[in-house]
Amino acid sequence: TQLLEQSPQFLSIQEGENLTVYCNSSSVFSSLQWYRQEPGEGPVLLVTVVTGGEVKKLKRLTFQFGDARKDSSLHITAAQPGDTGLYLCAGSALKTSYDKVIFGPGTSLSVIP
């Protein structure tokens, strides 16, 4: 059974601070996605990483896929209240199959003005 763990589970920070959330597994993934979910809505894709060691930037958000494709991190620089939400990582195991995407439990981020 493949599992994805996320840490921390909860994070409350002041506006302007930096933070990093982690997504870890003992399994290798062919691709990994990060989603953000706001209250009352469904998750929305932020980024997909597919190559070991890959780094992608989305404004103040930096995503990294581990060299072994078993882990990933999301770093937010100068957090803003609009960054508040639940951050979910999701891994895809195989490149060609009806494989099922596995979700981590999420990191709930609260950015205080």
Interacting residues with other proteins (CB under 8 A): 4, 9, 30-31, 33, 35, 40-45, 48, 50, 88, 90, 92, 94-101, 103-106
Closer Cβ to other proteins, 62 or 92, answer by number: 92
Amino acid at 6: Q
User: Least Å distance between CB 94 and other proteins?
Assistant: 7
Supply the minimum distance, in Å, between the C-beta of residue 46 and other proteins.
Answer: 10
Min separation Cβ 49 and other proteins, Å: 10
Starting at the earlier edge strand, list the strands of the sheet with 19-24: 5-7, 19-24, 71-76, 61-65, 55-58
Pairing relationship of beta strands 107-112 and 71-76 according to DSSP bridges? unpaired
Contact 2, 32 (CB under 8 A): no
